Amino acid sequence: MPRRYGPYGGAYVPETLVPALQELDRAWQSARRDPEFRRELDRLSRTLGGRPTPLYFARNLSRRAGGAEIWLKREDLLHGGAHKFNNALGQGLLARRMGKPRLIAETGAGQHGVATAMVGAALGLRTEVYMGEVDIERQRPNVERMRLLGAEVHPVRTGGRTLKDAINAALRDWIANVRTTHYLLGSAVGPHPFPSLVAEFQSVIGREIRRQSVRSFGRLPDLAVACVGGGSNAIGTFHPLIGTDVQFLGVEAGGVGGRSPGAASLSRGRPGILHGSFSYVLQDSDGQVAETESISAGLDYPGVGPEHAWLRDRGRAKYIAVRDRDALRAFHWLAEDEGILPALEPSHAIFAALGEARRRPRTEHIVVTLSGRGDKDLGVVTGAPR
């Protein structure tokens, strides 16, 4: 039975994909119980990926806020420059275990495509990546990185030519080539078992936060903050801390603000089915999936993972939207205060964290997952007004 998070989740897919999803679920259930698989995942996470990533006290950023301490979980220092490597490595090892010689992936900001290309090269798997034309233009450096790593990049020219359309193209490829191909889905979305296995591979973030927080300031943080597009870095942060008293704040893309929905599915969407899963989806008045807009390619998606929908409805996590211009302000704050260039995706979370820090006493601690570095966004940032 497909796993659900309350009413959310499931597997709403064509019959041709049901055997592939069942095969993936069996392989995942077997692998997670296999000590050899775990050892290989841990070994490559350390020696290829560079784990553990540090927990950094942003002293100057905290001084700017004038309240609670702000700490950064430095996923931007992971191999490839983003948290995407965690999931790509885990699924790459699963693909090899299933005897699938070909990987396909979708990407928006390009970081998942880069991570998949890196893993494909390291494991000897052929890699092809689907990317919307709009995202190819605004994330050109990552396109070149994927090609240098041996991946073939397919421009997607349908629909809004962004992440949603890249996922559609990848799914069509998987349906046609399911015997030889593993679809390495990049976020905690899609049909079961993708949301649960992506959350598990990304939960290394939250597990390290638990250990590092106790070592760094003697206890768990009061608040954990992460940006949310599909939701993989955020669920990786939140999931291992659900049974604690840590508060959660997920930060979506608010776009230009005003009447624009941006890409804030949890803040401005309603339940519906997208890419094989029941969750919150941005929809128009006729129930059709709405077009999104965001300065951040990685958050530019009209849906969200089902576990986030469940956390929202239960009141266990709070979700807000941050506008483009405020994310840009936070990018410059972190660059100038700490010497760190963040990706535009976690810049949304940085802005929200400063607002929270200003309202909280100096004795509290906020941990922000800095999910990626900003090299890929320099063209966007330098061309935007300050």
- Report how far apart, in Å, the C-alpha atoms of 179 and of each of 23, 30, 182, 373, 380 are: 11, 19, 8, 36, 40
> How buried is residue 370: exposed, middle or buried, by Cβ count under 10 Å (0-12/13-18/19+)?
buried
Quick one: pLDDT at residue 317?
98
Residue 286, C-beta contacts closer than 8 angstroms, at least 6 positions apart = none
Q: Which residues pair with 9 in a beta bridge?
A: 4, 278
DSSP characters over 97-147:
HHT--EEEEEESSSHHHHHHHHHHHHHT-EEEEEEEHHHHHHTHHHHHHHH
Residue 84 annotated among the catalytic residues of the structure:
yes
371 included as an active-site residue: yes
The answer on pLDDT for 269 being more than 60 is yes
pTM for the whole thing? 0.96
Q: Are the CB atoms for 137 and 176 separated by under 8 Å?
A: no
| Residues 6 or more apart whose Cβ sits within 8 Å of residue 265 | 252, 279, 280, 281, 282, 301, 302, 303, 304
| Tokens linked to 6 | 């309350």
pLDDT given at position 261 = 86
pLDDT in tens, 276-321: 999 999 999 889 999 899 999 899 999 999 999 999 999 999 999 9
Cα–Cα dist 46/40, whole Å: 10
Average pLDDT in the chain = 96
Point out the catalytic residue in the list 106, 252, 338, 345.
106
Q: Is 106 a catalytic residue?
A: yes
Choose the most confident range, by mean pLDDT, from 128-142, 154-168, 267-281. 267-281
Q: Would you state the pLDDT for residue 2?
A: 63
Tokens (6 digits) for 145? 């990185």
**Residue at token pair 């089902």:** 306
The one catalytic residue in 45, 62, 69, 84 is 84
Q: Are 149 and 118 in contact (CB under 8 A)?
A: yes
Tokens of 103: 């990987």
The answer to whether 353 and 374 are in contact (CB under 8 A) is: no
250-255: average pLDDT: 97
Name which residue leads in pLDDT, 91 or 138. 91
For residue 108, what pLDDT is reported? 87
């959660």: which residue's tokens?
Answer: 248
Instruction: Check the CA dihedral 220-226-231-232 and report its sign.
Output: negative
pLDDT in tens, 224-241: 999 999 999 999 999 999
Residues in Cβ contact with 273 at an 8 Å cutoff, skipping those fewer than 6 apart: 12, 281
The answer to whether residue 85 scores a pLDDT higher than 90 is yes
Mean pLDDT of all residues in 12-35:
95
The residue with tokens 């095969």 is: 23
Q: Is the pLDDT of residue 1 over 70?
A: no
Joined together, the tokens standing for residue 357 give 């820090």
pLDDT single digits (tens) 325-338 = 999 999 999 999 99
Which residue out of 203, 216, 277, 371 is catalytically annotated? Answer: 371
21-25-28 Cα angle (round to 5): 135
- Sequence-ordered list of residues with C-beta below 8 angstroms from that of 53, at least 6 positions apart, any chain: 73, 74, 75, 77, 78, 208
Mean pLDDT computed over 14-32? 95
